[in-house]
Amino acid sequence: MEKRTSSSRSASSKASNAKEAALGAAYVCLALALSFLESQIPFDALVPIPGFKLGLANIVICTVFYRHSAKTALLVLICRLALSFILFSNISSFIFSLVGALLSYTSLFISKYILRSRISFIGVSVISAVFHNMGQLAAALLVTGSLSALFYMPYLVLAAVICGGATGVILCFLPRNVFFEKELKSL
C-alpha cells in the first residue's frame, strides 16, 4: 500500500517536471521571438545611441520572475541569450548582453523582495532597464579600458527610463492569462 502511494507521488512529480520544462521552453520561445522582433526594427536610424533596443524580451523575464520563480527566470534568460547569440549576434554583443541581462535580473530581486507592492510593473521595468544599461556600460568600460564610454551614461539612463517605462506599461495592461496563467495554476 505504502509502495503504491510513493510511486504515484513520483509519477505526479514527473508529470509536473515535464509541465514545467514545457512551460520554460514556451517562455524561451516567446522571449526569443520578441528579441527577433525588435532586432527587425531599425532603431539605429531613429536614435543616435549605439545598440539601442526596446527590451521587449524583458516582459517575459519579469513575468516569469514574478509569476513563476527566480530560478526559472534565470534559466529562460540564459537560454534566450545563448539562442540569440547563436542565431543573430556575435561574441562582443553577447558579452554586453550577458552582463546587462544578469545585472537587470539582479534588480528584480530588489523590486520583488524590497520594494514589493509599493511599485507597479512600470517601476520594476524602469529599474531593470536602468540596471541593464549600466551593466552594458560597465562592460564597455572594461573592454575599452577607457572612461570615454561614460559620456553615454546619461543618455543610456534616459533611454532606459523611456524603454523601461514603455515595456512596464505593456506589462501592466497585459491580460493575466497571456503567459500561461491557467497552466501555472494547474502545476
Half-sphere CA count of 156, side-chain side, radius 13 A:
21
The rounded distance, in Å, linking the Cα atoms of 163 and 25 is: 26
CB atoms within 10 A of CB 32: 20
- Using the rule CB under 8 A, is 122 a contact of another protein? yes
Per-residue string for binding with another protein, 2-21, x by CB under 8 A? --------------------
The rounded distance, in Å, linking the Cα atoms of 67 and 70 is: 9
- Choose one: 1-9, 18-26, 79-87, 156-164; the region binding another protein (CB under 8 A): 156-164
- Using the rule CB under 8 A, is 157 a contact of another protein? yes
- Using the rule CB under 8 A, is 44 a contact of another protein? yes
Contact 139, 99 (CB under 8 A): yes
The rounded distance, in Å, linking the Cα atoms of 7 and 58 is: 39
Residues that bind another protein (CB under 8 A): 44-45, 48-51, 66-67, 90, 92-93, 96, 111-113, 115-124, 126-127, 130, 140, 143-144, 146, 148-149, 151, 153-155, 157-158, 160-161, 165, 168, 172
